[in-house]
A and B are shown apart, each in its own frame.
Chain A
Amino acid sequence: MLDVITATQRVAPSRWSPSRLFKSLFFHQTVFLAVTLLVWEVLGAYVFDPFWSSRPSLIAERLVFLAKRGDLTWHMSATLTEAGLGLALGSVVGVSLGLLMARYTRAARITEPLFMGLYSLPRVALAPLFILWFGIGLPAKVMMSFSMVVFVFVLNVLEGVRALDRDPIDLMRTMGASNRYIIRRVLLPAVLTWIMASFRISVGLALIGALVGELIGSSRGLGWYIERSAGQLDTTGVFTGIIILIAIAMVANNIVALVSNRLTRWRA
């Protein structure tokens, strides 16, 4: 039998099709993930030695085991605290430094070579120094995380101030606006979008900082767990740590994207 689609029928469903589309996209993503895991499972069981690639079932088992023993929260909370504090400190210092550099251009020019040198330096190279200075506890990892993200904020805020639209400021000046008023009404809202962009970039970098710190010297955290598992040739442990990190990074990215979208709703 042949279906005859009339014009009205073709137009009408468009009202609810976006949500249907999303659902079907979500459905396809789920199927893709399931197939990937299945292939991995089969390959790990029958083709490769599980020693090299582990298997989703073993990882799931390990996750439950770690959760039950409290190890999961123990390590996760350590890594999250390090990255979170590093990100918080980096954003506060970075935004302040960026605003200062935008305000005092002469001082900014003088310090620029040192600043660009530090920015170009692969920050991982600082890890041994931080361990030496701050020990293998929390402060070294926070500093590692901080050093990864602080430049992102400085450079973005600087760029945000430089890209400021002069016309509204001129207009407000003719209307007798004070500096404080212009900062509150123009500068801060304009820079806010650049700060939110910095957060989106920095979430991943903060985690890298914490992880690098943990890999080099620590007694807890996901980096430590991965490192220790590898040392014991425990591939399942390594993969479990990686899977947890992927989950953390995805959730954190989504939270930042959500907040960022809410704060910059005016971008039609």
Chain B
Amino acid sequence: MPPVLAKLSIEHLCVAFNDEMPAIGDVSLQVADGEFVAIVGPSGCGKSTLLKVVAGLQAARSGTVKVARAAPSDPEPKIGFMFQRDTLLPWATVTSNISVGCELSGLPKEKHAERIASLISLVRLQGYENHYPAALSGGMRQRVSLARLLAFEPDIYLMDEPFGALDYQTKIVMGRELLRIWEASRRSIVFVTHDIEEAVALADRVIVMGARPGRIVASHDVVFERPRDPRSLRGDPRFGALVQTIWSELAIAD
């Protein structure tokens, strides 16, 4: 049997901002094609930095990062990044913001309208096509961000606390929405969060990171069957046990 192809492969990555203690010291991580990996850790453990290195926004001191291309003919792997802030263009309507993803994906122009329309219904923003971001709630703005990301059709999704700025209820709803959308396409996701419950509810695997220097402390396979409902999952005793375990690991790591 051939080995499972890694979508993202990080080998002995080390990142340092100056000559101080490295922000990330020797991290290796493989993400399989279609795998949903969540990374939790205390602030300052380098989990966001790790994503920035993969996205090419931050240089590494040593080590390698490889993202597999979808097809051998593609010139570059397409990396989709989502920030905690919505980073929408305030002067562009919902439609126009989503079209940024289409435009940068290389999709032929005549197919843009169709993809945008289907994404707007996918993230349930029908009726808001011509609204500007300022007229939308935080949750709706992140839906637009998500639709823009989906329009780009990345090989891998890097999500840096995408729902971290939302209120608790909206965060749960957005997590469920993300799973619903992810089930349909099954692209690899690396999802950084400080919310352990969110990580366990969403991911196939939870990576626990520790600080000074940033390193991987533990890795847990989450075995709950798919498709999941993150809300009902929270009542499951296995869910609580795993959350407890990760909590104690974080306490040790700190």
Contact = CB atoms under 8 A, between A and B. Distances in A.
A267 to B, nearest CB: 7
A170 to B, nearest CB: 6
A85 B83 CA distance: 46
A168 interface: yes
B143 interface: no
Nearest to A267: B134
Nearest to B83: A167
Interface string A127-156: 000000000000000000000000000000
A168 B87 contact: yes
Contacts of A176: 76, 78, 104
Contact of B87 (A171, A181, A267): A171
Contacts of A267: 90, 134
B80 interface: yes
B85 to A, nearest CB: 6
Interface string B71-106: 000001011110101011111110000001101110
Contacts of B56: 173-174
A267 B91 CA distance: 8
A175 B104 contact: yes
Contacts of B80: 174-175
Interface residues of B, number: 28
Contact of A167 (B79, B87, B133): B87
Interface residues of A, number: 23
A211 B29 CA distance: 71
B55 interface: yes
Contacts of B78: 175-176
A213 to B, nearest CB: 37
Given A181-B104, A267-B134, A173 B57 contact: yes
Contacts of B154: 175
Contact of A181 (B76, B91, B101, B103): B103
Contacts of B152: 175
B224 interface: no
A174 B85 contact: no
Interface string B191-223: 000000000000000000000000000000000
Contacts of A189: 89, 91-92
B117 interface: no
Interface of A: 165, 167-168, 170-177, 181, 185-186, 189-190, 192-193, 264-268
Interface of B: 55-57, 76, 78-81, 83, 85, 87-93, 100-101, 103-105, 132-135, 152, 154
Cβ-closest 8 pairs across A and B: A268-B134, A266-B132, A175-B104, A174-B55, A167-B87, A189-B91, A174-B81, A266-B91
